[in-house]
Amino acid sequence: MTAPVPRPTAAPAGPFRPSRYDGPPLVYEQVLLSPRADQPFTLTVEAGQTVVVLGDEDAGVSSLGAFALALETPRAGHVRVLGTDLTLLPERERLAFRRRVGYLPAGDGLMQNLSLRDNVALPLRFGSTAGSREIDGRVDVMLAAGRLTRIGGLRPAQANEEERRRTALVRALAFDPALLILEQPFDGLTSRVAGELLTLARGGEEEGGARRTVFITGQELPPVLHRRAERVYRLHRAGALELEPA
């Protein structure tokens, strides 16, 4: 029997409530991804959409998330996240702004000396004004959504790949961001688990699409997920962006 997919978490209140932005959450404008690229990368991700860009490392796919969050700076072009080019912000404001975006880097990015529960709590403890009781409550909700409640006390080395990936995703969702950037989120997972995590990432469905905008990068996407994304692109080494058939 297939286990039921957990219901998306409700939007948190108080210090965890995300700021609202009504324009396209993510816009790449004439970004040069690779020295080999003959043409720059341009893409607009509309609110409520799940958009996927696939390609190998030489095409520059692995840099898309880092450019969006100003972890790296493109050689040319600009990226606007929730209407803001993060490279133009002072460092302190840039750090604060990144909390408005959920980010799951390639791998999992978990702190090995912390339990899975403490990994989820980490951004809340350092990035919100909430008290310990509020944070513990929010972490309980997120662990339940990710089916991690029973293993929250484990450290990453004691958990399997699926459990670590679930933990990394719910940590990225801790502030209930309007925009979620995922790098190779489904590598090594079954199609069933990948589908479940995409449902959690999208945050539920509304009249205009998903409640949350999701931008996914990687080399491949499980075939069963192609039809659940509004757009899936293939990025070639020369910089050409090709829309894949549904």
In a domain, 105, yes or no: no
User: For residue 19, what pLDDT is reported?
Assistant: 60
User: For residue 5, what pLDDT is reported?
Assistant: 42
Quick one: 124 and 190 in the same domain?
no
Quick one: 73 and 91 in the same domain?
yes
In a domain, 84, yes or no: yes
Supply the range of the domain harboring residue 115: 111-176
Tokens in use for 43? 């893409």
Last residue of a domain, which of 158, 176, 194? Answer: 176
CATH of the domain at 181: 3.40.50.300
pLDDT along the chain (246 residues), means of 10: 44 54 90 84 95 90 94 93 94 89 90 96 86 91 95 96 95 93 93 94 75 94 91 89 86
Instruction: Find, among 185, 162, 181, the residue nearest to 173 by Cα.
Output: 181
User: For residue 16, what pLDDT is reported?
Assistant: 54
Quick one: 95 and 31 in the same domain?
yes
User: For residue 61, what pLDDT is reported?
Assistant: 92
User: For residue 207, what pLDDT is reported?
Assistant: 63
Last residue of a domain, which of 123, 141, 176? Answer: 176
Q: Is 36 exposed, middle or buried (0-12, 13-18, 19+ CB in 10 A)?
A: exposed
Q: How many domains does the chain have?
A: 2
User: For residue 206, what pLDDT is reported?
Assistant: 66
Quick one: 93 and 190 in the same domain?
yes
User: For residue 56, what pLDDT is reported?
Assistant: 86
User: For residue 152, what pLDDT is reported?
Assistant: 95
Give the pTM: 0.88
